[in-house]
Structure 1
Amino acid sequence: MEYRKLGESGLELSTITYGAFAIGGTLWGGNEKQDSINAIHASLDNGVTSLDTAPFYGLGRSEELIGEAIKGKSRDKIQLLNKFGLVWDGSNKGKGEFFFNAEDNGATYPIYKFNSKANIIKEVEESLSRLGTDYIDLLQVHWPDATTPIEETMLAMDDLIKQGKIRAAGVCNYDAAQLTEAAKTIKLASNQVSYSMLNRVIEKDVVPYVLENNMGIIAYSPMERGLLTGKYFKEAKLKENDHRNGYFGQFGVEKVKALLDAIEPIAVAKNASLSQLVLRWTSLQPGITVVLAGARNAAQAIDNAKAMDINLTDAELQFITAQVSKI
């Protein structure tokens, strides 16, 4: 495993970081508790020291699972990356900016983006309780909220740093203009954004900004929620209530299959899976500090962690990038 410094925060994270969206179950067709805990343990046992979650993931369940999985382990050896600002409970209903309706266990929850100071303080206390800890290593704005001034959100996180409840502040899904506005109030450690072989939009504006301002990028959905594993072109099937039934439709699946067919020989030659090759390529792109990889069982977690064992020559890296550029 490689470990990389996140901007100027002082945090050092495992380049493959465990992404805990799927184990929450919401939008992912449910989850198996013990499999999820086993996945976290397998990640930690194979050098993945950083775990990324959010209150929205399973409406608190993802955080609770992480809290249970790390109980009794050395807290200073684990980095907890968390978020705030996707609101679903009744006390905040209707506040903020409406996002979408989420289905969870047969019920519908209107989800709002809400980054007010009062809500941040409330969410952090709830997250600390679920995680069973007294501090969060990196607290991140989950999504921009048009109803709350960025300055108010950043000042709230600055207060939490001073209180020792968080070690560093980050954002998610911010564009370069929003990063510039936030920088007037606080030094951000990172921006967590969607990035993959099929989605390289951030290379235009966000990557140049973070490189110039010494920030980190945490890349989420590097495998496009499993599409780039290749298994959905074979035997794997999705549950009916899995959001990926619609999500995969945005991509030209024939082009995706052609890409995977072109790069698979490199994976085979290195005795690696397509997933591992995709993760390793992503980790080597300019500006990318950390790559999030979800796992719903121990085998997937080990496979993800071992991606960093792959060595790619310059020629191999250039070949893969050339194939990616055809998408």
Structure 2
Amino acid sequence: MKRQLGSSDIQVTPITMGAWAIGGFMWGGNEEKDSIEAIEAYIDHGVTSIDTAPIYGFGYSEELVGKAIKNYDRSKLQILTKFGMIWDAEKGDFAFEGKDNHGQLRKVYRYGGYETALRDVEASLKRLQTDYIDLIQLHWPDTTTPIDETMRAMEKMMQDGKVKAVGVCNYNAAQLKEAEQTIKLQSNQVPYSMLKRDIETAVVPYAIENNLSIIAYSPMERGLLTGKYQSSDALAADDHRTNYFKRFDFDKVATLTDKLAALAAEYQATTAQLVLAWTFHQPAVAAALAGARNAKQAAENAKAMDIQLKPEDLARIGEWIDTI
């Protein structure tokens, strides 16, 4: 069931919990009890890999993960987190600004400097209430810091026993090649879905050639591919998807999700489960991230791991999405 992450000893579940939404920030808030129950439901249904980051709720997502995993055998869980998005200093590339869960305006920067990276991983360990991280990832490229400096920071984390494996997020093929002159990367976490397939041109071929795993985020396009949303009108004003969804043609997406729903029924699955299964059936993809804000959603997402798509159905889906 689990997939090896690159050439490392880390194995992750093909469905991995994406813990962005439970941080509340940019997702219209959250309920702590529901979030912890979602994590527990995932683990209880076989999803033992959890992907979080400091910026998700400005540390809150990591804190929730730390609380939720206390009653489980840590050695059977895979905790993935990140560094490189800071809000306590003006360094690196400005990313965005927004209000945190307490209403305080924060300016966020992409910064992968050596000392800051080491400091940030220590803070993550405390919030997660663990003494090691299975996979540490640079959250975004930082044009103000040489790639080799950031890679040396991750090398130091491994030497100190703070992390077991290292990866990056949102890297293109050229950046991956440069980074691997300093350290062997095990993964690249990138956006990938039926509606966003640009990584297939260069990133996926690089990953296959260099034994690097793809961790796909937003495989359901933040809920759009479930067929649940016919427009962005029903979303909360502070939900980032209000603007995000505007980039898509809702009529074309609806045609696709109708076809997916019919095929999903043949597998006795939901559209969302089929979309997740399609994602982790793609070349080089070790895991598809799936968020959940309550136990019911987590249990439903976990069921996608049981789906084994037939080659002919993968081909059919390929034909459908080529028309989008």
Superposition TM-score, scaled by structure 2 size? 0.98
- Distance in 1, Cα, partners of 2:247 & 2:21: 20
Q: 2:232–2:245: 8 Å Cα contact kept in structure 1?
A: no
Once residues 230 and 265 of structure 1 are traced to their aligned partners in structure 2, the CA distance between those partners, rounded to angstroms, is 12
Which residue number in structure 2 is paired with residue 176 of structure 1? 173
The runs of at least 4 aligned residues of structure 1 exceeding 6 Å deviation read none
Tell me the residue number matched to 2:23: 24
**Contact residue 274 and residue 307 of structure 2 kept, 8 A:** yes
Amino acid aligned to 1:10: D
For residues 140 and 192 of structure 1, the distance between their equivalents in structure 2, rounded to whole angstroms, comes to 8
Aligned partners of 1:82 and 1:151: how far apart in 2?
A: 20
1:232 partner amino acid:
Y
1:96 has 2:92 as partner? yes
Do structure 1's residue 77 and structure 2's residue 73 form an aligned pair? no
The aligned residue for residue 156 of structure 1 is 153
Identify the residue that residue 42 of structure 1 maps to in structure 2.
Answer: 41
Look up the match of 1:239. Answer: 236
Matched residue, 2:310: 313
CA distance in 2, matches of 1:234, 1:306: 27
Q: Could you report, residue by residue, the CA deviation over 1:126-155 in whole angstroms, capped at 9, with x for unpaired residues?
A: 100000001100000000000100000001
More deviation, 314-323/55-64: 314-323
Residues 113-192 of structure 1: pairs in structure 2 closer than 5 A = 113-192=110-189
Residue 234 of structure 1, CA deviation: 8.7
Which one-letter code corresponds to 1:102 in the other structure? G
Q: % of aligned pairs identical?
A: 55
1:228 corresponding residue in structure 2? 225
Cα-to-partner distance string for 1:188-233 (whole Å, 9 max, x where unaligned):
0000000000000000000000100001000000001111111112
Per the alignment, residue 256 of structure 1 pairs with 253
3-state SS, counterpart of residue 53 of structure 2? coil
User: Partner residue of 1:326?
Assistant: 323
How many aligned residue pairs are there?
323
SS of 1:305's partner is helix
Q: What CA deviation, in whole Å up to 9, does each residue of 1:37-80 have, x standing for no partner?
A: 00000000011010000000000000000000001311100010
Name structure 2 gaps, 5 residues minimum: none
Q: Could you say what secondary structure the match of 1:71 adopts? A: helix
**C-alpha distance in 1, partners of 2:25/2:110?**
17
Greater shift in the superposed pair: 97-106 or 32-41: 97-106
Shift of 1:100: 1.1
Q: In structure 2, how many angstroms separate the alpha carbons of the residues matched to 1:103 and 1:177?
A: 34
Letter in 1 for 2:8: S
TM-score, reference length from structure 1: 0.97
The residue aligned with 2:6 is: 7
Work out whether residues 231 and 250 of structure 2, in 8 Å CA contact, stay in contact via their aligned partners in 1: no
